[in-house]
Amino acid sequence: MASYRGTLIVLEGVGRAGNTTQGHWLVTALCSSGHRAKMLRFPERSTETSKLLNSYLEKKTELEDHSVHLFFSANRWEQVPLIKAKLNQGVNLVLNRYAFSGVAFTSVKENISLNWCKQSDVGLPKPDLILFLQLQLLDAAARGEFGLERYETGTLQEQVPLCFQQLMKGENLNWKVVDGSRSIEDVHEEVRVLSKDAIHSDAQSPLEELWK
């Protein structure tokens, strides 16, 4: 009998799109319907590299733009053994942000190309499904003030979605855009159905490498 692996699902979004809530709801729904599932988030804020990233995001440290990009990428690579092990055990993984956030948030900076940004993440485990929770800036603003962290500003929240649009074009990746302006329940239902479809169709196919 063919062995099956877990499905790699990524949640991306900008502003107050609700990735974290949707991630938790999805994992709960999958587990209660008999699947094994776990959420990981990027940046993973508990490892050695993350101390630097936390302090950068909290605006306590300044770092050169290319350099911090590579730290975000390293923060993903250090989780790859865990990601592969879990998938091999048949655990479905829900990643709250991944390389796409990495590229989108760095490439809006001056003099850093989208192509340069992608290079350090080439070869990461390729997601089976990328759910982009879309929120218009006005809807995001209506959900309350942005936080105090770096990147939580209106201008950036306008530019970053355009980078995500770029990333959705042309590559052989399974993107689904989900309207994040609806209620948590409605968004969850769509996220759940799309994830279940992916789990059923990808269980037998080998894990591939991103952007390779």
Q: Which residues bind ligand 2DT (CB under 6 A)?
A: 42-43, 57, 72, 97, 101-102, 105, 151
Min dist. Cβ of residue 93 to ligand 2DT (A)? 15
- Amino acid residing at 50: S
Q: What is the DSSP letter of 206?
A: P
Give the residue nearest to ligand 2DT (CB).
102
Q: For residues 38 and 12, what is the distance between their CA atoms, to the nearest angstrom? A: 16
- Residue 56 or 92 with smaller CB distance to ligand 2DT: 56
Min dist. Cβ of residue 126 to ligand 2DT (A)? 16
- Token reading at 59: 């605006």
Q: For residues 117 and 112, what is the distance between their CA atoms, to the nearest angstrom? A: 7
Min dist. Cβ of residue 69 to ligand 2DT (A)? 7
Q: For residues 126 and 198, what is the distance between their CA atoms, to the nearest angstrom? A: 13
- Residue 72 or 164 with smaller CB distance to ligand 2DT: 72
Contact at 8 Å (CB) between 29 and 115? no
Min dist. Cβ of residue 44 to ligand 2DT (A)? 9
- Residue 30 or 57 with smaller CB distance to ligand 2DT: 57
Burial class (CB in 10 A: 0-12, 13-18, 19+), 180: buried
Min dist. Cβ of residue 90 to ligand 2DT (A)? 26
- Residue 99 or 199 with smaller CB distance to ligand 2DT: 99
Contact at 8 Å (CB) between 11 and 94? yes
- Residue 75 or 199 with smaller CB distance to ligand 2DT: 75
